[in-house]
Amino acid sequence: TTDIQSILNKLGINADNAAFSTGSHWGGTANVKTLESFSPVNGKRIASARVATSVDYEAVVLQAQAAFTEWRNVPAPKRGEIVRQFGDALRENKSDLGALVSYEMGKSLQEGLGEVQEMIDICDFAVGLSRQLYGLTMHSERPNHRMYEQWHPLGIVGIISAFNFPVAVWSWNAALALVCGNVCIWKPSEKTPLTAIACQHIIAKVFKKNAVTEGVCSLILGDKEVGELMTNDGRVPLVSATGSTRMGKAVAAAVGARLGKSLLELGGNNAIIISEHADLDMSLIGAVFGAVGTAGQRCTSTRRLIIHESVYDTFTAKLVNAYGQLRIGDPLDQNNHVGPLIDTDAVAAYLDSIEKCKAEGGRFVVEGGVLSGEAYQSGCYVKPCIAEVKNEFKIVQHETFAPILYLIKYKTLDEAIALQNGVPQGLSSAIMTLNLREAEQFLSASGSDCGIANVNIGTSGAEIGGAFGGEKETGGGRESGSDAWKAYMRRQTNTVNYSNTLPLAQGIKFDL
């Protein structure tokens, strides 16, 4: 059994924690609201943190602004060296931080460790990037002129993250933002403040050892109001937000109204097409992990299976059988496949979606329900369920953050692709097929409309090296790999004249 108290001690979590940190300094106004963190694993209160006030927020922003004037002048590879050490510190803390993620958020220990691994991986990626951040050079139309572009940091990057990936999503943003020369202010989900505090302690230690100026990475705890201070603040040129489409629309509107930049990674409604040419055993693993992993609380979770009519009955039988084998319980016990939902509000939303699905005519082939008994006393454990539906059901068009899987039958690939694309969201998608023509059609311009499209892999569990994000109501942002770093920088086009005259572009004559 995991000794949570000793993990909390090792990670620097107190019974009552401060409202903000600018690095080594922790502070906050006294006698304010608190955030209580309860574990969905057993319903126990773990610890609390104070909610930051607007006065606290102001202190954090001023410190961040001051830090930026220094950090932007540190050579990028030197910034990369700090991020490299942060990656090493994460390696040292992997088992403790992974366990705390599992305990505070409720995902399986394997997935908690996997999340910390994503942090380590993005640090490695960012270290390499710190010697790149390439700009292009162009040929000037004028003699003895040089034209090129440079990428400069933006300033303060605000990071709003969700409970479901309480630490990795921050690190995707922070690792890139830092090597690019930005400073960060992180507002984590109010449902998972403790994992964020642990991360702040880990990075602050690395900063201290390297005498990095105070304010390069700050943490500010609170609810929606703290996020609003950031989204409305012209001193924060980029807000990167991960969460629901509803939250993303509010962030985009506030940031857009001041012509700031936002990077949005919002809801998904991800489907796997199971073709008549699929390897059904492989498809089963992809579909079941995608639907029940993290208890269906990934933005990439598989919500819909679009199954060819010729394999529909066989595959459904395999699914029902597999769901019968699932072990639901304490996520820190490695024998279990499925842990709890984040809280009882999420359980209520799950039950509500099941009701709505039934009301619209959905037929459950695996029934849902809330588990009760001693092992499930937090009230957050639910049964993964499966329903046969029509794609146009209102509830099927909606992202419910819970392990509810919808089955839809198809005849032709064109129809399957139209169904896959026929939702407001556009994050992740997959096809299971051994047929090259089908696979390529699915990946073509007339195929999946999502930011992520996989062949013979499920919808969840993307590697950090690719650009991560999606289209439509998913928000259009790209985080993590490829050239996602460009969102954290401003491009400057430079033209230098080293001739003895001043020729004008476009051949314009202007003689004095």
Query: Binding residues for ligand UN1, per CB under 6 A?
Result: 118, 164-165, 169, 242, 298-300, 460-462
Q: What three-state secondary structure class fits 414?
A: helix
Q: How far is CA 379 from CA 44, 96, 154, 366, 397, in A?
A: 11, 25, 44, 20, 27
Least distance in angstroms from the C-beta of 182 to ligand UN1: 21
* 336 touches 329 (CB < 8 A): yes
Per the listing, tokens 């930026």 go with: 68
Least distance in angstroms from the C-beta of 132 to ligand UN1: 23
Least distance in angstroms from the C-beta of 301 to ligand UN1: 8
In sequence order, what are the beta bridge partners of 399? Answer: none
CB atoms under 10 Å from CB of 228, counted, come to 16
In the bound state with ligand UN1, the residue whose beta carbon lies nearer, of 206 and 464, is: 464
**Is 367 an annotated catalytic residue?**
no
CB atoms under 10 Å from CB of 16, counted, come to 9
In the bound state with ligand UN1, the residue whose beta carbon lies nearer, of 64 and 271, is: 271
In the bound state with ligand UN1, the residue whose beta carbon lies nearer, of 299 and 450, is: 299
In the bound state with ligand UN1, the residue whose beta carbon lies nearer, of 71 and 165, is: 165
Least distance in angstroms from the C-beta of 166 to ligand UN1: 10
In the bound state with ligand UN1, the residue whose beta carbon lies nearer, of 129 and 299, is: 299
In the bound state with ligand UN1, the residue whose beta carbon lies nearer, of 188 and 461, is: 461
Least distance in angstroms from the C-beta of 451 to ligand UN1: 11
Catalytic annotation, pick one of 265, 399, 438, 473: 265
Q: Which residues of 459-473 are buried (b: 16+ CB within 10 A; e: fewer)?
A: bbbbebeebbbbebb
CB atoms under 10 Å from CB of 150, counted, come to 14
Q: Which of 280, 242, 276, 240 shows the shortest CA–CA distance to 260?
A: 240
Distance linking the first and last C-alpha atoms of the chain = 85
Least distance in angstroms from the C-beta of 313 to ligand UN1: 29
In the bound state with ligand UN1, the residue whose beta carbon lies nearer, of 191 and 308, is: 191
* Strand-strand pairing, 16-17 and 45-50: parallel
CB atoms under 10 Å from CB of 268, counted, come to 29
Contacts of 397 (CB under 8 A, 6+ apart): 269, 391, 423, 424
- Report how far residue 299's alpha carbon sits from residue 459's, in angstroms, rounded to the nearest whole number: 10
Long-range Cβ contacts of 359-362 (<8 Å, 24+ apart): 360/389, 360/390, 360/393, 360/394, 360/395, 361/389, 361/390, 361/393, 362/387, 362/388, 362/389, 362/393, 362/395, 362/406
Residue nearest to ligand UN1 (CB): 462
Number of residues that this document lists for the chain: 512
Element (H, E) at 169: helix 168-179
Per the listing, tokens 């086009």 go with: 493
In the bound state with ligand UN1, the residue whose beta carbon lies nearer, of 7 and 452, is: 452
Least distance in angstroms from the C-beta of 242 to ligand UN1: 6
Element (H, E) at 5: helix 4-10
Q: Which residues are catalytic?
A: 265
